[in-house]
A = this chain, B = another copy of it.
Amino acid sequence: MTTATRPNYREDVAGRANVEDTPELLAYYDELASMNTAALWTVANKIEPWQPQSSSVPVVWRFQDLREHVLRSIDLVSPEKAGRRVVYLDNPGRRDVSAAVGWLYSGLQAMRPGERASAHAHAASALRFIMEGSGAYTIVDGHRMTLGANDFVLTPNGCWHEHGVSEDGAPCIWQDGLDIPLVNALEANFYSVHPDLQQADTAPVDYAVAAWGGRGLVPANDNWQHAYSPLLKYEWAPTYEALSNFARVTDGSPFDGVLMDYINPKTGGPVMQTIGASMQMLRPGEHTKAHRQVGSFIYQCAKGKGYSIINGQRLDWQERDIFCVPSWMFHEHVNLSASEDACLFCFHDLPVMKSLGLYREEALKDNGGHQPIVQP
């Protein structure tokens, strides 16, 4: 960097850097640069911001726009050549890292009946949320799981996994969610292709739900050693039942309505170490208050229609639409139906923020907790 173009982040506030450029200083900076060093005060105000300023922008991806393109990918490229046919969500502020928001990746994957992707493993953690079709299945470390709409399945860090659609199924579309950008950024990602390209089944189909899906009961004497949930698959029917039951007895969160977290039954904690997931119900006509949180969120509308206001922008959504909330942006949600509930599936990186002691949240105090909508 030459001194001519050197930025300076001065602030005229006590305790902040406020050093004017002088010829002497500019020469000094050049000397420092020659030794792989620099002067902190030239960047201090930039690298110590008053509060997070996300580089991501709020986006809604509408399924009616994307569906055709996603299905077209099946015709355009073969599974052998493409590996997976996925249209991924590319946040305008995060194109350099292929993220949908923050350090989270998401994409829509399509597959024809009878297709089966090759088995692989990576240090990144993944989940998929089924959007349409029938006959989908995922195999995780030899455990095959059948999947229907709004089911949610884990393929955690280090597991061999592969996806497929049975011969008698219908073309499937699902949402993938991964922490690939985070794990890459942390310079911690590894990738392996399964030596046989496909796994053998080593347990009865849907073992995980049969063993770990009890209501308040788990297998005794099990020797589960992994840091992720042995339940692996979370089906829609019991999820909606849980939300409905909880809705009967709770006032809900002012910010999120009836919000429940998917958990690891071995620990009561999040489903994976780096990605958490939740499902929430907005009751008919519900308009929540705004708050902001350290962490990035990707939502899919699993039922109903409404809109969210994120940093003053109104993003309308209906079933299958996906939208994101960047870190530390105020957000509030609205169910536009006066008679039907709306359900939002969400995955996020709160487990990262909480493990590292970085989580904070704050309610919007002004205007009754509601944001004015900014015209774009």
- A-side residues, CB < 8 A to B, are 1, 13-19, 24-25, 28, 31-33, 35-41, 43-44, 47-55, 59, 61, 65-66, 69, 72-73, 76-77, 81-92, 95, 97-98, 102-103, 105, 107, 118, 120, 122-124, 157, 180-181, 183-194, 197, 203-204, 206-207, 209-221, 227, 229, 231, 234-235, 238-239, 241-243, 245-246, 248-250, 253, 256, 259-268, 273-274, 278-280, 294, 296, 326-328, 352-353, 355-358, 360
Instruction: Give the contacting residue for A268; candidates B122, B123, B204, B265; CB below 8 A.
Output: B265
Residues of B within 8 A of A51 (CB): 189-191
Residues of B within 8 A of A248 (CB): 204, 210
**Distance in Å from the Cβ of A151 to the closest Cβ of chain B?**
11
Query: Which residue, of A39, A81, A256, A273, has the highest number of chain B Cβ atoms within 10 A?
Result: A39
Given contacts A41-B82, A274-B357, contact A234 B220 (CB under 8 A): no
Q: Is the CB of A83 within 8 A of B16?
A: yes
**Distance in Å from the Cβ of A3 to the closest Cβ of chain B?**
15
Q: Is the CB of B186 within 8 A of A215?
A: no
**Distance in Å from the Cβ of A256 to the closest Cβ of chain B?**
7
Residues of B within 8 A of A353 (CB): 186, 188
Q: Is the CB of A41 within 8 A of B294?
A: no
Residues of B within 8 A of A122 (CB): 48
Sample of 22 A–B contacts (CB below 8 Å): A17-B81, A19-B81, A24-B76, A25-B76, A36-B59, A40-B87, A41-B82, A44-B83, A50-B190, A50-B191, A51-B189, A185-B185, A210-B249, A215-B235, A217-B234, A219-B246, A219-B260, A219-B261, A220-B278, A221-B256, A266-B268, A273-B355
Residues of B within 8 A of A214 (CB): 215, 238-239, 241-242, 245-246, 260
Residues of B within 8 A of A102 (CB): 186-187
